[in-house]
Amino acid sequence: MSIIIKESIKNDLINLGIKEGDVLYLTIDTLNVGFFNKNRSTTLNTWLEIFFEILGEKGSIILSAYTETFWSFNKKKDLIFTRCSKTSNGAFSNFLIKNKKAVRSRHPTNSVIGIGGDIENILINHHEHSKAYSVFKELISRKAKFLMIGTLDNKNTPQAMHYCQELLGHNDHFFGKGFIQTYYYDINNVLKLFTLKDSGGCSRGGYKLYGPLILNKAIEFGYVGNAFSAIMDGEYSKNVILKELKNNKNLIQCDNKYCISCYGSFYKNGFKVIPFYIRKIIEQIKKILNKKYGMSNRSY
């Protein structure tokens, strides 16, 4: 097995199609690549060096930086979105949040973090008054490429998926609408309460879009180190996904039949939600009884 070094990763990215001046929307699992340089901090810094040795001064990288929320009936006064709020979107996103040169959009729940090129203008209109995924309109207008490094799995999704749901109006009917909140500081540094009105919901069924993307030659695959990876033209992949979801909004439902996001919405499932919630309640009762009395799920 060959040793994975900085230059080999750089060559892998170039072979995959990354060029000088590109705007990249990135999902990355650095552990899957198999590259390590001294320690975690040095490794992540080396990744940043690799990207910009290819992209140059005019290139940019952007990643999701979504943050924690609370239910409206259980408010957490100390949960306030800021420029420095930690994200659940992985080590590289959190690494960029700590970088003073990086810019974070101001959307209180679905912010993104980016660095390089014209990043301030790319992200300036993504804030508390915009749709959760509206930043993709700006990315696509700048001919962005969507890069997935080690994230081809059933947790991550082709980047345009939730934006396509947004364009079709699906996100306006998500489970929990009006009840998911966080605090944030507005542009005048005034503390306010934000209520999420649109969301793409579950991402675990996004892997079902790879078939249409492959058939339409909208995705290219390759390896970055040990990580099976992919790259897509932002606009073309968006158009392919949009067509698929227009024809079948339930195409991307996940495989967990107890998922409220996928199966608990009347908008998506109609009256099928009735047996769904009956099953869901029974399952919850079983869990409570098992926890309290040590009952098993065995049939006697």
pLDDT in tens, 32-60: 999 999 999 999 999 999 999 999 999 99
* Joined tokens for residue 23: 């705007």
pLDDT (mean) for 181-201: 97
The CA distances from residue 32 to 14, 134, 204, 219, in Å, are: 19, 30, 19, 20
pLDDT (mean) for 96-117: 98
Q: How many helices (H) and strands (E) does the chain have?
A: 12, 11
pLDDT at 123 over 70: yes
pLDDT at 58: 97
pLDDT at 71 over 60: yes
Residue pointed to by tokens 């990355």: 28
pLDDT at 224: 98
pLDDT at 299: 34
Q: How confident is the model at residue 3 (pLDDT cuts 50, 70, 90)?
A: confident
Separation of alpha carbons 232 and 210, rounded Å: 11
pLDDT (mean) for 194-200: 96
Q: Quick check: 45 and 39 in contact, CB under 8 A?
A: no
Percent of the chain, pLDDT > 90? 92
DSSP letter at 108 equals T
pLDDT at 1: 56
Q: Where are the alpha helices (DSSP H) in the chain?
A: 6-16, 30-33, 40-55, 91-97, 119-123, 135-141, 161-168, 210-215, 234-247, 260-263, 266-269, 273-293
pLDDT at 296: 42
Q: Quick check: 151 and 89 in contact, CB under 8 A?
A: no
pLDDT mean across residues, the chain = 95
Separation of alpha carbons 178 and 171, rounded Å: 12
pLDDT (mean) for 186-206: 96
DSSP letter at 2 equals P
In the chain, where the domains are located: 6-255, 264-300
Identify the three-state secondary structure at position 230. strand
Q: Give me the half-sphere count of Cα atoms (radius 13 Å) on the Cβ side of residue 203.
A: 15
pLDDT (mean) for 125-134: 98
pLDDT at 289: 84
What are the tens digits of pLDDT across the range 239-297? 999 999 999 999 999 999 999 999 999 999 999 999 999 999 998 898 888 877 764 44
Identify the helix (H) or strand (E) that includes residue 104.
strand 103-104
pLDDT (mean) for 164-191: 96
First-to-last alpha carbon distance for the chain, in angstroms, is 52
Of the listed ranges 128-132, 189-193, 229-233, 257-261, the least confidently predicted one is 257-261
Percent of the chain, pLDDT > 70? 97
pLDDT at 184 over 90: yes
pLDDT at 294: 62
pLDDT at 168 over 90: yes
Residue type at position 19: K
